[in-house]
A and B are shown apart, each in its own frame.
Chain A
């Protein structure tokens, strides 16, 4: 963290998006995390993605639970809505908010503790409901706020700062999400914005639950030799298999790819993702094959990254429940609350 606020002065030639805003105008409060925290880079990637997606700040809802990761929602898009919930309970709050207003953009930021320990039940049900939100896990393998104990995502054999070795098997949110039928599953690394920013852009346009598990080194408690979540180890052991370039609805695809290398995927809102296969054998639309491949590579501790799975035809929460388009707070009161007489009529059916 820093003691002075980031100066408001900016580069005079910063590009502006279609709303006339610069990237700087999507920033939030000063980060109070440790200097060099991977989470701050993810924050910067979210800022960049929101700017590039021309998000109107007031349509964004930031949700989080408890932990270092969950503090970060304060650090981006200060003109948006936010809810910092109870530990592990962010998915419930997200579900409630989303149920009441489906027209906002929901972005949840959580950590490996918040998601995979105390909040695991909440997490998997949000996937099951295919809640229309972006769910980012800032995954560093330790409990940073309580001085670096292993979390549920710590790899077997990784060591703590003082040398203890972890012997418990990790919970991998990516595999979990795939087995639960998640429709957008990605993994990335905080130190690779070239990959992460377009992934977040695509996730925001995905209609349904979009999970991005981001390896995010804890610079204070998990960046040493022996750690499998350090900057150096992550760089050596992550392999991009599918790169996703996001293409806004109106834009033409200008980048030229070789034949067979790329697969354009059209999202429900007309935007597209161009999937550039770094590994030609990998098929991100085949859930089973993707899962097998991820498992196989994890055995040798290689993290496959990129957009690992996408399916665009799974109905999201509101479609499943045939809810109205209009946010509840905009539905006229008389419609929303038909009155005591109507209630009595309904109840009489159950008598």
Chain B
């Protein structure tokens, strides 16, 4: 195994698991540190640089960072990263003067965005300050896309959406509401846009064509139904409701039903637990509201009596499981479950009836556009796709990153550069040594358990549909939770030529992640370490050859708690703790116009 190339930005980036896992590469440890210092506005602005919607994402993000969090490997539960983001948003001060404001001097190029969801808004956020005239066309009467129409207001208050979209519109973005786009040709040829970004989401809920489906009006498509509730076209539902599907949309549907008068809500799952698509915390929240999740029931037909939906017939399933996978299934009978309404929440798709097929925009056989996974460019050079419209349903934070990446492409394209040439990520390292045993970060391990977020009581929360259930951390809870962060961005940096092989670092390391041993291949090295290094996705660091014995220093990055004791115990400062600042590129980096946008004080 060759010595690790630490000049490759990827090396130190991967050590910061949360930031590596975040599609938008939010600088999580740094904003958590800002929160612990009470610098909420700074924390908010740092978040905004990468994820654009800290207040929204601090409530409803899919949080890929949390399963990645090292704290979850060292102890049981990861840092409540998402909820800390909300702390920054809830407690932030005045933003005026600290966020960019338009209008900007225009460069003459016009960009159309289809749909005012997170992908389009992010693209507008990145490109408006560079002088582009960005026009967003939105089908509905309010911007936000699914954040507005599909996420119930008891999880995400409308004011939070309004505030964060407001910051983008203040850049001088032209938002046109109630303006569905009927024709791509018209955008390109009649309206003369230089580039078009399609961020229209995946607005088509999947159907369940079983007998009886068309014989009643009490069967609803989940996302359409949620949208109708959000726009107050629907304000009640029957007493007994069945939700088909166990994704996050199903969780929103069942909890919304309870707020519209349902007394008995059942979520019907084809498969057992462990196969549910919904996030654990959304399942938890739904079950806390006494929603029953019925497993191993496969829908067979809707039961209509006298033109009225009276129930639904299910097949009872039984599965054989091996290693968490289904190896066999069989039917064991049928069950009729009475109900007044059924909501279908079994998935959604993107759909482009408004894109003419003779424009040079190619689609595959499932009518999904051919989009480059890196540049988000379609087969027609000036047309780009992002968010759920590009590769099917994902989540908000992915849509944001798509928006950022598409913005880089659109900017390059309109400046006549190749979209394939992407700016590189960079890592800056700065020593945090302040004295003999003093560091510019708090290196002492805080043995605290994950704080629980307070909720509105079950009695209170159903009184109105828009009572936000989660209350968010209070400042002191946020400060405590922030202490659980292991500061993974404060890197252990090793200088082989200084090492005298005294073993001090190895002896003091609380998690046994260091070993000095003979060089070898990775598979072999992993077996010779001080403690087993079984997590293959976590890289080994291998130093250059040590001068006294010709061995190498090996570090298993998996469990390092960044306590800095290796550096404190090192007599020659061969180990140093250095803060890494990972810069993930955005459109217009380094160009004068964006400086105001990127800077935080």
A4 touches B549 (CB 8 A): no
Give A315 to B73 CA distance when docked, in angstroms.
52
B454 within 8 A of A: no
Residues of A within 8 A of B74 (CB): 9, 12
Q: Is the CB of B507 within 8 A of A34?
A: no
Closest to B568 in A: A2
Across-interface contacts of A41 in B (CB, < 8 A) = 502-504, 507
Q: How many angstroms between the C-alpha atoms of A2 and B559 in the bound complex?
A: 21
Interface secondary structure of B, over-half rule? loop
A10 to B549, CA, bound (A): 29
Residue in B503, B510, B572 whose beta carbon sits within 8 Å of that of A193 in the complex: B503
Over the window 11-40 of chain A, the binary record of Cβ atoms lying under 8 Å from chain B Cβ atoms (1 yes, 0 no) is 111100000000010000000001111101
A207 to chain B, nearest CB (A): 30
Tell me whether B500 and A35 are in contact (CB under 8 A): no
Selecting from B201-209, B296-304, B409-417, B439-447, the interface stretch reads B439-447
Looking at the complex, which one of B510, B511, B512, B571 makes contact with A36 (CB distance below 8 Å)?
Answer: B571
Check if A223 sits within 8 Å of B500, measured CB to CB.
yes
Q: Kindly state the separation between the CA atoms of A35 and B501 in the bound complex, as whole angstroms.
A: 12
CB-CB under 8 A from A40, the residues of chain B are: 503-504, 507-508, 569
> What is the bound-complex CA distance between A7 and B74, given in angstroms?
11
Partner pick for B569 among A35, A190, A193, CB 8 A cutoff? A35
- Residue-wise, chain A 27-59 has the 8 Å CB interface mask toward B (1 for contact) of 000000011111011011000000000000000
* Chain A CB within 8 A of B531 CB: yes
Q: How far is the CA of A311 from the CA of B534 in the complex (A)?
A: 43
Residue of A nearest to B506 (CB): A44
Q: Which of B502, B548, B571 counts the most A-chain CB atoms under 10 A from its CB? A: B502
Q: Point out the residues of chain A lying under 8 angstroms from B531, CB to CB.
A: 11, 13-14
Q: Does A8 contact B (CB under 8 A)?
A: yes
In the docked arrangement, what's the CA distance between A291 and B73, Å? 53
Whether B548 and A9, one on each chain, are in contact in the complex, defined by CB atoms closer than 8 angstroms, is: no
B569 pairs with A231, CB closer than 8 A: no
Taken together as a complex, chains A and B put the C-alpha atoms of A34 and B513 apart, in Å, by: 22
Q: How far is the CA of A191 from the CA of B438 in the complex (A)?
A: 27
Q: Does A217 contact B (CB under 8 A)?
A: yes
Question: Least Cβ distance of B410 to chain A in Å?
Answer: 47
Q: Does A268 contact B (CB under 8 A)?
A: no
Q: Does A156 count as interface, using CB distance less than 8 angstroms? A: no
Q: A231: shortest Cβ distance to chain B, in Å?
A: 5
Cβ contacts B489-517/A at 8 Å (1 or 0 each): 00000000000111110111011110000
B563:A4 contact, CB within 8 angstroms: yes
Do A6 and B570 touch (CB < 8 A)?
no
Q: How far is the CB of B86 from chain A (nearest CB, A)?
A: 27
Contacting residues, chain B, for A10 (C-beta < 8 A): 510-512
- The reply to whether the CB of A125 lies closer than 8 angstroms to some CB of chain B is no
Our pick among B445, B501, B561, B570 for the contact of A191 (Cβ within 8 Å) is B501
Contact check, B561 vs A36: say whether CB atoms are below 8 A apart.
no
Interface members, chain B 47-95 (any A CB < 8 Å): 73-75
Bound complex: CA of A36 vs CA of B501, how far in Å?
9
Is B180 in the interface zone, CB < 8 Å from A?
Answer: no
A residues less than 8 Å from B508 (CB atoms): 2, 6, 40
Q: Which of B443, B447, B506, B512 neighbours the largest number of chain A CB atoms within 10 Å of its CB?
A: B512
Instruction: Provide the bound-state CA to CA distance between A1 and B506, in Å.
Output: 14
Contact (Cβ within 8 A) B510 A9: yes
Q: Across the interface, which residues of B come within 8 angstroms of A223, CB to CB?
A: 500, 571
Q: Are A11 and B559 in contact (CB under 8 A)?
A: yes
B570 neighbours in A (Cβ, 8 Å): 35-36
- The answer on a CB contact under 8 Å between A37 and B437 is no
Question: Are A217 and B502 within 8 A (Cβ)?
Answer: yes
Q: Which of A5, A220, A231 contacts B548 (CB 8 A)?
A: A231
Known: A7-B510, A9-B561, A219-B502. 20 other contacts (CB 8 A): A2-B437, A2-B565, A2-B568, A3-B437, A3-B438, A8-B510, A9-B74, A9-B75, A11-B512, A11-B531, A14-B531, A35-B570, A36-B569, A38-B502, A40-B508, A41-B503, A191-B501, A191-B502, A219-B571, A220-B571
**Can you list 30 residue pairs at the A/B interface with Cβ under 8 Å?**
A2-B565, A3-B437, A3-B438, A7-B444, A7-B447, A7-B561, A8-B445, A8-B447, A9-B511, A10-B511, A11-B513, A11-B531, A12-B73, A12-B74, A12-B559, A35-B569, A35-B570, A35-B571, A36-B502, A36-B504, A36-B569, A37-B504, A40-B507, A44-B507, A217-B502, A219-B500, A223-B500, A231-B502, A231-B548, A235-B548
Q: Which residues from chain B sit less than 8 Å from chain A, CB to CB? A: 73-75, 437-438, 443-445, 447, 500-504, 506-508, 510-513, 531-532, 534, 548-549, 559, 561, 563, 565, 568-572
Interface residues of A (CB under 8 A from B): 1-14, 24, 34-38, 40-41, 43-44, 190-191, 193, 217, 219-220, 223, 231-232, 235
